[in-house]
Amino acid sequence: MRVHVNGKARDVAAATLGALLRELDYEDGAIATALNQNFVRKTDRSKTPLKEGDAVEILVPRQGG
Amino acid sequence: MEADMDEDRLTIYGVALSSRLLAGTAQYPSPAILSCAIAAAKVEVATVSLRRESGGGRAGKNFWELIRELGVRVLPNTAGCRSVKEAVTTAEMAREVFGTPWIKLEVIGEEDSLQPDVFGLVEAASILAREGFQVFPYTTEDLVAAERLLAAGCEVLMPWGSPIGSGRGLNNPYALRSLRAHFPNVPIIVDAGIGAPSHAAAAMEMGFDAVLSNTAIARAGDPAKMARAFALAVEAGRIGYRAGLMHARDMAAPSTPVIGRAFSDFARA
């Protein structure tokens, strides 16, 4: 299935957002997720299904002004 | 005097702050220099952001650990968001990662000036306030926008001094004074465009409650030294404001007593 992760097209096997994070080797720590511009809570990731063409954002703490 | 200054705390959303200099964490030459600058200025509140990262989240984790070691209270931003939807979603993500209801809300409306879109800002602030966020809205000096932001639930305002990163200081002192005068009891933090310690002091002398600076400190030749200069300027401006500034006048007024001046009975040639 092809989805967009942080703006890049990726072919992935994961069926849920939680599985996608594991597949892409994201640590479970300080990350936040959104699916198609909607926030997905940490506790909801494993029950959030992915479908073809979904846009996933995976954000991390960074410097800011 | 010491006791008097100790009591001069700034309270925002129930949090009492001793330092009236808030700092950004971006653009520093290194994490170590950021740490030195924060410590040198005794900064208590620092802004942070959320960004994409491809390295499995490890760089983000490292940065977050550094911030936690500094012991500052974080103020996450929605920097760069161009729509209400983007800003609200980013705020929701930030609250989960940073564990704070505080959000510096930016909804940018124009590319060259990075001017806030005050219409989108008010809408996003309303949504976030209803969701339990404590919103710090990055806004202009517009009085009506300020009224709407307060009505939406904001308990603090963050007007720009001048465009982000421009270093131009207080671009519109008249409008800033008007804003201060219209909302005497609302904490107002001058954010953006502050390029020099003197700009920060000028904002504080106008009666603003705090100043937020990033680029001017981070891009200085010696950021830690500049952070200290900003902290001193903010404190000097604050004390000067509380002491009561004299009013400027057009004509000279001798400061030394005129009566008793020697030779005053001699006719001038």
B89: phi then psi, degrees, rounded to nearest 5: -65, -40
Distance in angstroms (rounded) separating the CA atoms of residues B78 and B104: 7
Chain A residue closest to B56 (CA)? A26
Contacts of A38 in chain B (CB under 8 A): 89
Residue of B42, B61, B104, B225 marked catalytic: B104
B104 included as an active-site residue: yes
Asked casually if ipTM beats, i.e. exceeds, 0.90, the reply is yes
Picking from A27, A37, A43, A62 by the largest number of B CB atoms within 10 A of its own CB, the best residue to mutate is: A62
Average pLDDT over residues B112-126: 97
pLDDT of residue B5: 55
Residue A62: which of B119, B79, B18, B155 has the closest Cα?
A: B79
CB-CB under 8 Å, B93 with A61: no
Q: Which residue's structure tokens are 């594991």?
A: A22
What pLDDT shows up at residue B46?
97
Q: Does B13 score more than 60 pLDDT?
A: yes
**What are the tens digits of pLDDT across the range B130-189?**
999 999 999 999 999 999 999 999 999 999 999 999 999 999 999 999 999 999 999 999
Reported as a pLDDT band with limits 50, 70 and 90, residue A38 is: very high
Four-CA torsion B99, B27, B225, B136, nearest 10 degrees: -40
Q: Give the mean model confidence (pLDDT) for residues B66-90.
A: 95
pLDDT at B2 over 60: no
pLDDT of residue A28: 67
Average pLDDT of the segment spanning B234-251: 95
Do B60 and A30 make contact, defined as CB atoms within 8 angstroms?
Answer: yes
pLDDT on residue B269: 64
